């Protein structure tokens, strides 16, 4: 088989066997959910409910009049008990709405997100405006992890023509299997969701990029999409970060996104399979995004699982469903091990961008002191954005913002390939992040 890919990148140990064979289970309805008013990139929402209000599942509880923003919805039926800043998995505190579950609802409520029966979606009657509106009001964001509002991606400026949609089924992060299971269990829904997304931007072609290690998903999606002439399934080489937007576009279409540009500059819109699934639910069942698939995995979890979790469920509840954390655990990460964010507490909620909860043991996280750079250029060979990480990291660390900008530091996607490769254990991405922060501050000051 002829597998496509991009240049550079790395091959970490994938460790997907923990959960790759396990079907998506419904997570019991939690007693309490904490719904942050900002789960997306853009303007935070304003609460639409007051303390003491009764809310029903799927009710809109936060919204704001801004283009780059999406509403948030109640994920359980119950009573609003608090509106205050709560800890947030991406760090810091965010204004959140706490909902206490009504007593008459059992914790085993049926879950229509996870029903397996296939129902076709008739997209011919929908206009692109309808689709955009439905996606926006359902609060859908990019579910791969970055949580960029989907309707913004579906509204390209007039002068930019979109000719292709890429549905991202790579899931190149080690350990995670959420997208893989979604493709195996809900393949038809994903295809219809993708067709709707294509219609919204008037593109003519859909490419579904799947890494070759997901054989079940690959063959199933191929089989199901055989009678859609506009869909083409592309098998991709197993490599990290194959699922990063820019790398995926390069691999599938051999197009380059300009530095600092968006995929739409290359005439492409990239959407995660989870997003396509959510779009299907929004259009077919008129369901807002209140649940998502989360892979709970890692050597520190007693019983790793793929779960359909309600947004706002505290991490501790999700981990309890999976039998709790083993003794000697060391680190809890939201997302995958490469780009995920280490958590300092377990009362943070699952948000729209939570693709996984990973618990690592002491032995997995051993990290030596970093040593001097030996100029081996391993990081340069690994960087998929073709930057020079060892220079950039020093510019970031020593606050040399002008040089940092000159060397294209803002193009860094923080994939972690450079730190992974470095034989001297240097925390290169960490320093580059400092540089990016500094540069952004400096630009804000001068503006």
Partner 1 sequence: MGGLGIFFAVFLSIADRKLAVKENPLIEEALSIIPGINCGACGLPSCHVFAERVVKGDVPVNLCMAGGKEVAEKLSKLLGIDTPDTEKVLAVVLCKGGTNESVQNARYIGEKTCEAANIGGGGKACIYGCLGYGDCVKACPFDAIDINDNSIPVVFYDTCVGCGKCVEACPRNIIEIHPDDQKLFVYCKNKDKGAVARKICKVACVACTLCTKDCEVEGGIEIIDNLATVNYSKCKESEAATKRCPTKCIYNDIEKNNTSKNFYVSRGKKEAV
The residues binding partner 1 (CB under 8 A) are 84-85, 91-93, 341-345, 365, 367, 370, 427, 430-431, 433-434, 437
Torsion of CA 131, 135, 136, 139, to 10 degrees: 170
Residue closer to partner 1 by CB (options 405, 433) is: 433
Residue closer to partner 1 by CB (options 118, 365) is: 365
Residue closer to partner 1 by CB (options 187, 354) is: 354
Task: Supply the minimum distance, in Å, between the C-beta of residue 351 and partner 1.
Answer: 16
Q: Are 437 and 431 in contact (CB under 8 A)?
A: no
Residue closer to partner 1 by CB (options 8, 430) is: 430
Residue 366 CB neighbour total at 10 angstroms: 7
- Scan for tokens 């340069």, then name that residue: 380
Task: Supply the minimum distance, in Å, between the C-beta of residue 433 and partner 1.
Answer: 6
Residue closer to partner 1 by CB (options 52, 92) is: 92
Q: Are 385 and 412 in contact (CB under 8 A)?
A: yes
Task: Supply the minimum distance, in Å, between the C-beta of residue 370 and partner 1.
Answer: 8
Helix (H) or strand (E) holding 247: helix 245-253
**CA distances for 63 relative to 71, 292, 313, angstroms:** 4, 20, 20
From start to end of 163-223, where are the E strands? 164-169, 205-211
| Biggest alpha carbon–alpha carbon distance for the chain | 64
Residue 367 CB neighbour total at 10 angstroms: 7
Task: Supply the minimum distance, in Å, between the C-beta of residue 365 and partner 1.
Answer: 7
Pairing of strands 291-297, 268-272: unpaired
Task: Supply the minimum distance, in Å, between the C-beta of residue 331 and partner 1.
Answer: 8
Task: Supply the minimum distance, in Å, between the C-beta of residue 47 and partner 1.
Answer: 17
Residue closer to partner 1 by CB (options 39, 187) is: 39
Residue 150 CB neighbour total at 10 angstroms: 30
- Residues linked to residue 360 through DSSP beta bridges, in sequence order: 331
């Amino acid at each position: 088989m002829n597998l496509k890919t991009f240049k550079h990148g790395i091959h970490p140990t994938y460790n997907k066997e923990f959960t790759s064979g396990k079907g998506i289970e419904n997570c019991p309805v939690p007693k309490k959910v904490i719904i942050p008013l900002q789960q997306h990139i853009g303007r935070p929402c304003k609460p639409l409910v007051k303390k003491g209000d009764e809310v029903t599942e799927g009710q809109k509880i936060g919204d704001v009049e801004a283009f780059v923003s999406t509403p948030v919805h109640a994920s359980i039926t119950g009573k609003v008990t608090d509106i205050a800043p709560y800890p947030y998995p991406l760090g810091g505190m965010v204004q959140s709405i706490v909902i206490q579950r009504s007593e008459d609802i059992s914790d085993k409520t049926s879950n229509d997100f996870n029903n397996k029966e296939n129902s076709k979606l008739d997209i011919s009657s929908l206009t692109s405006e309808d689709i955009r509106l439905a996606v926006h009001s359902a609060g859908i964001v990019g579910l791969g992890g970055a949580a960029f509002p989907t309707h913004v991606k579906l509204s390209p400026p007039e002068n930019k023509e979109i000719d292709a949609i890429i549905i991202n089924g790579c899931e190149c992060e080690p350990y995670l299997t959420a997208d893989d299971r979604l493709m195996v269990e809900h393949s038809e829904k994903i295809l219809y969701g993708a067709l709707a997304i294509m219609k919204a931007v008037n593109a003519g072609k859909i490419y579904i990029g799947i890494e070759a290690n997901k054989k079940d998903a690959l063959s199933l999606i191929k089989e199901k999409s055989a009678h859609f002439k506009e869909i083409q399934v592309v098998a991709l080489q197993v490599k990290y970060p194959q699922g990063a937007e820019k790398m995926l576009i390069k691999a599938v279409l051999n197009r380059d996104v300009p530095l600092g540009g968006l995929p739409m500059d290359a005439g492409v819109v990239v959407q995660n399979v989870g997003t396509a699934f959510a779009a299907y639910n929004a259009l077919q069942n008129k369901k807002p995004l209140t649940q998502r698939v989360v892979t709970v995995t890692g050597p520190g979890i007693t019983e790793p699982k793929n779960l359909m979790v309600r947004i706002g469920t505290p991490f501790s509840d999700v981990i309890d469903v999976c039998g709790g954390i083993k003794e000697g655990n060391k680190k809890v990460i939201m997302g995958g091990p490469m780009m995920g964010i280490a958590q300092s507490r377990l009362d943070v909620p699952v948000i729209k961008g939570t693709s996984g909860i990973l618990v690592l043991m002491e032995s997995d996280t051993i990290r030596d002191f970093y040593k001097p750079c030996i100029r081996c250029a391993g990081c340069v060979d690994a960087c998929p954005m073709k930057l020079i990480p060892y220079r950039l990291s020093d510019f970031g660390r020593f606050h040399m913002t002008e040089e940092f900008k000159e060397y294209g530091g803002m193009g860094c996607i923080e994939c972690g390939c450079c730190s992974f490769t470095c034989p001297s254990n240097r925390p290169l991405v960490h320093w580059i992040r400092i540089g990016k922060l500094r540069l952004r501050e400096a630009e804000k000051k001068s503006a």
